[in-house]
Structure formats: C-alpha cells, structure tokens
Amino acid sequence: MKRFLPILFIFILVSAVSAQSDTSPACPTIDVNGPVRFIKPGDTATYSVQIDLKGLQLNPQYIWSVSAGQILKGQGTSSVDVQQTIEALTVTVEVEGLPSGCPNTASETIFIEPQPQAVKLDEFTGPISYVDKGRFGKVTEIVRKNPNVQLVIFVGYQKGAGFDERSSRRQEIIGNLALFRDEDGRITFVDVGDNREIVQFWLVPPGAGRPTFPEAIWNYDLKKTKKYYDRNDSVGPCPEAPEEMFSVVLNENPTFRGRISITERSDRKYQKLLGEIKAKLAAIPASRLRFFRRRDCSGDTCGRYQLWLVP
C-alpha cells in the first residue's frame, strides 16, 4: 500500500494544477478595422479597434500609431481618423490594461489608389499648316473614346503675336480637331506666351491635376494698355479660365496693373458679376486693380466684361 502513496500524491497534484489552468482567464482578442475601399492621397479614413474581452472586467487604454500619414483625431480612444499620404499605410493600436502575457497589439494596412495623371498626347512646333492632319485625328479619336476627360492645349506664339494672331491660331487648332460642340466644351486653352510657336495636347482624366508647362513665358513687353480678354469674344487667351491666367500675368509682371471694364445696366447683376471677378482675382492686391462700369447696353450686350493690362 505504501508504494502506491507517491503515485497517488502525484496524480492529485497534477489534477490540481490542471484544474487551476482550466480556470485561468483566456486572453482577449484584438482586431483593427479600416475602410473597405481604396483610399486616395489626402483622404481621411476612420480606423477602429474591436476587442473581445472574453468576459473579463477590464479598462483597456489605446495608443495608436501610423507608419505614414497623420492621426487627425481620436488618439486614446477606440477609433482614430487618419489622413492618408501617397504611401501604403499601416495603422497599429497598442492596448494597455490586458492580463500579463497576452498579445496587446493589432494592425491594419491600407493601400493607395493610384492618383490619376495627365498624359501628353502630342507636341509640335511651327505653323499649324505644316502639321500632318493625322496627328490631330489621333487626338480627336482619343477624346471621343474618353467622354469624361478634359483636353488641355498649351499654345505658344511667334514673337510679337497680337490678339488677332493668337485667336486665329487657336481657331485653326479647333478646326483641325473637328470635335463636336459638346466635345469643344471639354477643351481648355492655356496661353504660354510668345517665346516660340508650340502646341501641346494633354489628356486630363477625372481626379488628375492640371498639367503645367515648364517653359511658359509670361513676361510681356507691354508698351501701352492692351486688352487681354473680352467675354464676348468666342475665343480668348484662355477661355476656360481667363481670370486665372490674367492673375498669372500680373503676378509675373509686378509693374503691370489690371483694368476691368464691366458693362451691365442692372445694379443687382453688376454687383454679382463684380463680386465673382474680384473673388477670382483675389491673389492680386486690390491696389493693382481698377474696376470700371458701363451702362450703355441692352440684351446680350449686357453682362460683358473685359480684362486689360496696363503698363
């Protein structure tokens, strides 16, 4: 009988340890949930932590970190708002207050939706008449196959080209593209000065930034007051954004002043149009701008305005 006592003692001890292990609490599980969509650079997305406490009475504390981007709000809470950068982003939460030895971190990685980019379709220099018409045809075909895109056309001119020569060059480009009227509405001309005769076609998909022309020359040899844009003209230096380009010219030529002539009989309509133009020219100091009003109009001749450069 005595020889069986040690064995019985060991059995009781093992059973007691096993019973103690079975009653020890299970570790909580942690999970981080992020957006279910692709995120674009600059977007803000919410990330939240989900914890199954396994019935434990705990008071968890949250410490968030990101591999890129910026936490905008929510640090210390169960969810955070994060501004995305151009990189893939990993959001990590560390949970304090869990039982000793339990895992206390979880992460979520989000990948970036590629930012749409403008694409240069073609470029040529010299007179329009020297250019193979097939090149215009290819641009037209691409524009028609992509109904949601914009076409930005950079146009440069020969030295000393006047307003009429510039308008004629743009009209010649439109004529060679042979686009329908609704397609014409997707075209933006950007005047890049009279440094050289050049034309560039850029396809701009939705969400893409407008391309820039690195060789743009905005310095004007201005001897006398010059009309830069007339709203009643069918084509101007940049008919889609005349005030924007007018601001560029004034900024690049700090000695120039701007004169804006508005033709409108109605006081209400005049004040509305005046406010719109001032807002578009907000980057130019008020001291460099002068506004004039004319009332001699009727019908379609009202609501007209002109932008003038004054040396």
Domains of the chain listed by start with CATH number: 29-110 (2.60.40.1080), 116-215 (3.30.1330.60), 218-311 (3.30.1330)
The DSSP result for 23-57, as a single string, is TSPPPPEEEEE--SS-B-TT-EEEEEEEEE-TT--
Q: What is the distance between the alpha carbons of residues 290 and 127, in angstroms, rounded to a whole number?
A: 37
The better pLDDT of the pair 217, 114 is held by 114
The answer, yes or no, to whether residue 19 has pLDDT greater than 50, is no
Backbone phi, then psi, for 110, in 5-degree steps? -120, 135
Q: Which of 90-99, 135-144, 165-174, 182-191 has the lowest mean pLDDT?
A: 182-191
User: For 150-164, what is each residue's pLDDT tens digit?
Assistant: 899 988 888 777 777
Average pLDDT of the residues of the chain: 80
Q: What is the mean predicted confidence (pLDDT) over 167-182?
A: 80
Contact at 8 Å (CB) between 225 and 259?
A: yes
Q: In the structure encoding, which two tokens stand for residue 211, read together? A: 């391309």
pLDDT score of 174: 86
Alpha carbons 158 and 127: distance in angstroms, whole number: 9
Beta bridge partners of 77: none
pLDDT band at 290 (very low <50, low <70, confident <90, very high): very high
CB 106 within 8 A of CB 52: no
pLDDT of residue 64: 94
**Which is more confidently placed, 80 or 37?**
80
Looking at residue 21, its pLDDT comes to 44
- 161 alpha carbon, distance to own chain's centre: 34
169 vs 157: CA distance, rounded Å: 8
Structure tokens at 265: 């009989």
Tell me the percentage of the chain whose pLDDT exceeds 90.
Answer: 15
**Which secondary-structure segment (H or E) carries 5?**
helix 5-22
> Can you give the pLDDT at residue 128?
87
Tell me, what's the pLDDT at 3?
Answer: 52
Look at residue 249 in the predicted model and tell me its pLDDT. 78
Kind and range of the H or E run holding 244: helix 242-252
- Confidence tier at 82 by pLDDT (50, 70, 90): very high
Of the two residues 147 and 220, the one the predictor is more confident about is 147
Q: How far apart are CA 5 and CA 291, in angstroms?
A: 111
The residues with which 189 forms a beta bridge, in sequence order, are 153
Tens digits of per-residue pLDDT, 231-262?
Answer: 765 444 445 567 777 887 787 778 889 999 99
